[in-house]
Amino acid sequence: MTDASGASNSTAGTLYVVATPIGNLDDISARALKILSDVALIAAEDTRHSVRLLQHFGINTPLAACHEHNERDEGNRFITRLQAGDSVALISDAGTPLISDPGYHLVRQARAAGIAVVPVPGACALIAALSAAGLPSDRFIFEGFLPAKAVGRKSRLSQLKEEPRTLIFYEAPHRILECLQDMESVFGADRPALLARELTKTFETLKGLPLAELRAFVEADSNQQRGECVVLVAGWVAPEDEQAVSAEVMRVLDLLLAEMPLKRAAALAAEITGVRKNVLYQVALEKQKGE
C-alpha cells in the first residue's frame, strides 16, 4: 500500500469503511458482518447505539467512540492500532460513514499514513431515496443539511435556485416543515419534490408532489414531521418563453450592453452562454424599453 507521497506501510492493518443499515437490519451485507467480526476494533459514531446492532448479530468485537467531537483528537489512537497491524472498521449510527456523518478526518489520516482504506458499501439514505423518487438521477447534487436558521437556509436555497441537477437534502424532523416552506418560497410552488421519510423502517413515507402540495401534506399530518428525512427537489428548468434567462445570463448580457450596441451584445452573449440569440435580443430590447 502507498500513501500520497509514495511511501508504503505494508505491515499496517486495514481501515474498513463499513455501511450499516439505515433501518431494516436485513439490509446489512454478509461481507459487512464478516469484517465487523474479524477486525480488532470498531470505531463507532455512538458506541451505545452500535452495541445493539452488534448484539443483534452476535458480534463481540470491541467498540471505541469516533464522533464529530473527538475525531480529530482521537484519530491518532486508531492510526496507532492500524500501524501496529490491527485492522479497524469505521461505522456510523446508520448508513455509510462520512456521508453527513463523522469519519472524514480518520480516513484522511489513515491515507496520509499509508494505511489501506477499503470501502464496504451498503445502505445510504440519499441513494435509496433517489432510486425511488422518479426524479432525474443521471446528474444530482447532495447538499447534506441546510443551515438551521431561516436566514442562512434561504440564502443557501437561493444559491441553488437555478441549479439544473436534482437536489438532495437531509433535514431534521423538527425543521422539515420550515424547510419545505422555505423551499416553496425560493423554488416556487410548482417545483416537483419528494419527501423520503423513515426509509426502510415501519412507517416509511415516499411522497412526491409539487412543493406547495408537499408542504401542505406535511403541515396537515404531524406524523410526517417525525423521523429521518430526505428531501429531493427537481432541478431548475428554464421556461420556454422569451423572457426566461438565468440570472447569470442576464449578468453577462448587462455587461455587454454597457459596452456595445444591442444587436452585437445579444449575439456575443449567445456565443458565451449558449442561449439563443433571438431570445437574448428580445430580452435586451424589453430591458432597454423599460429603462
| Closest by CA position to 83, among listed 59, 115, 52, 120 | 115
**Which of the following CATH numbers is that of domain 126-233: 3.40.190.10, 3.30.950.10, 3.30.70.3270, 1.20.1090.10?**
3.30.950.10
User: For 75-128, how does the pLDDT look when each residue is reduced to its tens digit (9 = 90+)?
Assistant: 788 999 999 999 999 999 999 999 999 999 999 999 999 999 999 999 999 999
Per-residue pLDDT band for 12 (boundaries 50, 70, 90) equals: very high
User: For 175-214, how does the pLDDT look when each residue is reduced to its tens digit (9 = 90+)?
Assistant: 999 999 999 999 999 999 999 999 999 999 999 999 999 9
| DSSP calls for 84-130 | TT--EEEE-SSBSTTSSSS-HHHHHHHHHTT-EEEEE----HHHHHH
Per-residue pLDDT band for 241 (boundaries 50, 70, 90) equals: low
Q: What is the pTM of this model?
A: 0.79
Written as one letter, the residue type at 35 is I
* Residue 245, pLDDT score: 75
* 61: exposed, middle or buried (Cβ count in 10 Å: 0-12, 13-18, 19+): middle
Q: Write down the CATH number for the domain with range 14-123.
A: 3.40.1010.10
Cell output for 214 = 408537499
Q: Give every strand in the sheet of 63-65, ordered side by side.
A: 63-65, 41-44, 88-91, 14-18, 116-120
